Amino acid sequence: MPPADASRAEPGMAPGGSSDLSAALRRIFDRRDPTQAGSIHLMGLESLHEKLGNRWEGIASRVHQLAEKLLTQHLSAHDAWFRHGAEAYVVVFAHLGPDQARLVCAKVVEELQVMLLGGADTDSITVRTAMHEMGSEMVLVPANLRQMLDAARAGAVAPPHGPAMPPSAAEGVARHAPMEKAGPLQVRYRPVWDVGRQVLSLYMARGCRTRAGRSPLWGYDCLEDPADPQQILDLDIRVAHESLATALELYDNRFRFFLSLPIHFESLAATTRRQTLLHVLRDIPRHLLPFTTYHFHGMPAGVPAGRLSELVAAVKPFGSTVMLEVPLTGMDLGGIEASGIRVVNAALPPGASVERWRPDITRFAQQALRHRLLPAVEGVEGMAMEDLCEEAGIRFLSGELIGGWVDVPEHVVRRSRTDFQRQRPLLDPRRTGNAPK
């Protein structure tokens, strides 16, 4: 089903009645390549309308904005959709068969319910599939989300023949099951070694959700939709609340350490979300401010220096230092120098070898130091990588070698390279094996 044909089915139009819908569906069917799988579905928002009641009229435009954003995220580049009436969408899949495509549509409605209602009622979510023409009307066959999920878990969704599910659609279908099985959100902490001062003094806070028999989810992967700005903001606030409460209790017990709070670009990008976050940071006790730092995540490539400076200036009154997460390669650090960012942190992939990453780590450190930034590397697993990073001029290190994720930060302590050599054979794999490197 070529995307051009699907997109000519009146994209953005809202036909008023069933005859208009039938005509639109017939045009799509007529243009389809019969050798392709594909399928056509009517994704209705009636269940959401019913649950919102009188509130629907006031927020309908916002609901459609969210729906269209989710459709864009879940559909592949070859798929298409268009509005039908006040509360429905016709979704045209180029390659997915009816069962798989129905589940994608149902997941969009479910995520809308979670965003707007705080939870989803799978029994109320129905997707209708255009099967064939009967007289002058198209036959729309309904399917319930609960039944679809039961079939998916039983392995009944994938057909024995036909094309594989495109990656974008597969991610959308699969997202629900891992989140259902994931445990509640926890906040955990990982120590960072200051190479120059030879101390473990900084602890990075990060959200975590455990999964039986699988690796935990970390950071923004803990979210139902890691791309949703409101969910991102809620996670940043949750981690900040819990981390600061823990830090305050430890401070009162004479523990001293630096706390690094994660903040995503989306939490600062829009004025309303930024003000919500800053309202939380304003409550940090004054005596904790010198020990509070921030770790910016999700910064898009090419953000203007002035924009980055604005975001740094927003949080700087509530802490001592701002660190920016950057890729190890391919990013020009020149625009960061004047923004107020002090540390740039790059993460190594699990199992990274010295031979493969030596040139990249060396260039990263040189570029950072040239722009008066302190380079940091996360994911250091062994002494060979520690040797390389220290030789290259990396100032801060974290990873399996330095220390695993813990439930509570510890008091600042001196650690030398010799200490890490001695402890290496004694590392407990249960402490670090399931954590992100």
Q: What is the pTM of this model?
A: 0.59
Distance (Å, whole) CA 17 – CA 269: 40
- Tell me how far apart the terminal alpha carbons of the chain are, to the nearest angstrom: 42
49-76 as b/e, with b when 16 or more CB fall inside 10 Å? beebeeebeeebeebbebbeebbeebbb
Question: Which pLDDT score, from 0 to 100, does residue 181 have?
Answer: 72
What is the rounded CA–CA span in Å between residue 393 and residue 363?
Answer: 10
pLDDT at 48: 84
**3-class secondary-structure state, position 88:** strand
Task: Report the C-alpha dihedral over residues 362, 365, 369, 370, rounded to 10 degrees.
Answer: 50
- What totals of helices (H) and strands (E) does the chain contain, helices first? 16, 15
Q: Which of 108, 76, 105 is nearest to 91 (CA)?
A: 105
What's the chain's Rg over C-alpha atoms?
Answer: 25
Six-digit token pair at 123? 């029994």
According to the 3-state scheme, what is the secondary structure of 239-302?
A: HHHHHHHHHHHHHHCCCCCEEEEEEEHHHHHCHHHHHHHHHHHCCCCHHHHHHEEEEEECCCCC
Listed residue (343, 268, 277) closest to 298, CA to CA: 268
Q: What is the pLDDT of residue 23?
A: 57
**CA nearest 37: which of 129, 125, 153?**
129
Helix axes 167-174, 98-117, angle to 10 degrees: 50
**Integer CA distances (angstroms), 235 to 124, 134, 249, in order:** 28, 50, 21
C-beta of residue 238 within 8 angstroms of C-beta of residue 185: yes
Torsion sign across C-alpha atoms 154, 160, 162, 163: positive
CA distances to 239, 264, 292, 367 from 320, in Å: 18, 18, 6, 23
Element containing residue 327 per DSSP (H, E): none
User: The tokens of 207 are what?
Assistant: 């959200």
For 333-385, give the DSSP string: -GGGGGGT--EEEEEPPTT--HHHHHHHHHHHHHHHHHTT-EEEEE---SHHH
Domain positions in the chain: 3-179, 182-432
Cβ–Cβ under 8 Å, residues 86 and 67: no
Q: Is 252 left (phi over 0), alpha (psi -120 to 50) or beta?
A: alpha
What CATH number belongs to 3-179? 3.30.70
Domain 182-432 sits in CATH 3.40.980.10: no
In the three-class reduction of DSSP (H, G, I as helix; E, B as strand; rest coil), residue 76 is classed as: coil
Q: Residue 437 burial by CB count (10 A; 0-12/13-18/19+): exposed, middle or buried?
A: middle
Query: pLDDT at position 350, please?
Result: 83
Report DSSP letters for 181-215, one per residue.
HB---EEEEEEEEETTTTEEEEEEEEEEEEETTEE
Q: Tokens 């949703």 correspond to what residue?
A: 228
The mean pLDDT values, 10 residues at a time, for the chain of 437 residues are 34 38 54 56 86 82 85 83 85 82 86 76 79 51 70 48 37 46 89 95 94 86 89 94 93 93 93 93 94 93 83 94 91 85 92 91 95 95 94 95 93 91 56 45
Pairing of strands 39-44, 88-93: antiparallel
